[in-house]
Amino acid sequence: MANSCSGNNKMQGHPCFGGNHHQNGRMHLAVAPRCNIKCGYCSRRHDCANESRPGVTSRLLTPEEAMVKVREVMASKVLGSMIKVVGIAGPGDPLANEETFETFRQVGEEFPHLIKCMSTNGLLLPEKIDLLQELGLHSLTVTINAIDPAVGAKIYSHILYHGRKLNGPQAVEMLIANQLAGLKKAAEFGMTIKVNTVLIPGVNEGQVPLIAEKVKALGAFVMNVLPLIPQADFAAHLPPTEAQLEEVRRANERIIGQFRHCRQCRADAVGLLDTDFKAAEVGCAA
């Protein structure tokens, strides 16, 4: 069985990579609205305060507005000592938005002790990984839902790549190749890498161990198998049961460490994994 991620000192307190999620918090900055792929299970919502899931934010921020938020949070008596990580996870794909890089640059200059973390679909990872290394990115999450392009084509309706709209297995083959090439380079840079995989019963459960074996060999540290949230193209699709999800995770644990505390957070989440503060509460948490 793979070593438990809780004993690895590479986490440096990161709650989403197996660190102490009861004490260490994270802050997501919603500076990345644009996306370059269309996932069948994704529904991005801006100005939404009542849902808690990926792709949702109360409002979009500019890098300058994001820094105001970081200063407020770090000055808070409640949150200041809790927050260890500043992450960018949407609501689109961070690498498709120049605001991501400017935000990380400003965070690094003003709060160098905070861990910089990012979640991406990986399409642009090979061409952006050098810049992320220069900006001091520590932790990287790549969402990989298939190794077989024919399976991936059932999940992704299209990708947008350098001005071209591509679809079908050939487009997904390019996406997968870029995901794996970027992940490998990130591992060579010494980044701590988590791979997210959305479990879609009847579609990609057979891909999960194949993904695990491949990303483990390339240098991924831990894997996070997530349940499908039925919405968008998969609105009528049944999600996995808790028993099905745990069965897949337990089998996968023989290959790579499994992260089980994920809350499928909003793009503007602040606080502990189990206790988020709404955006309106941050300013009064002092």
pLDDT of residue 231: 86
Low-confidence winner among 93-102, 138-147, 176-185, 262-271 (lowest mean pLDDT): 262-271
The strand order across the sheet containing 164-166 reads 37-39, 156-161, 164-166
Classify residue 95 by its DSSP letter. G
Report the chain's mean pLDDT, rounded to a whole number.
Answer: 84
pLDDT of residue 168: 95
What mean pLDDT comes out for the span 274-283? Answer: 46
Low-confidence winner among 11-15, 17-21, 186-190, 197-201 (lowest mean pLDDT): 17-21
pLDDT of residue 8: 44
Q: Global pTM? A: 0.84
CA distance 286 to 282: 8
If pLDDT is split at 50, 70 and 90, which confidence band does 84 have? confident
If pLDDT is split at 50, 70 and 90, which confidence band does 12 have? low
Per-residue pLDDT at 185 exceeds 90: yes
pLDDT of residue 279: 44
**Alpha-carbon torsion (12, 257, 146, 55), positive or negative:** negative
Per-residue pLDDT at 238 exceeds 60: yes
CA distance 69 to 64: 9
Per-residue pLDDT at 187 exceeds 70: yes
Helix, coil or strand: residue 222:
strand
pLDDT of residue 82: 78
Q: What is the DSSP string of 151-211?
A: HHTTTEEEEEETTEEE-HHHHHHHHHHHHHHHHHHHHHTT-EEEEEEEE-TTTTGGGHHHH
If pLDDT is split at 50, 70 and 90, which confidence band does 25 have? confident
Q: What is the pLDDT of residues 27-68, one digit of tens each?
A: 889 999 999 999 998 875 554 444 444 555 568 899 999 999
Q: Tell me which fold the domain 5-273 belongs to.
A: TIM Barrel (3.20.20)
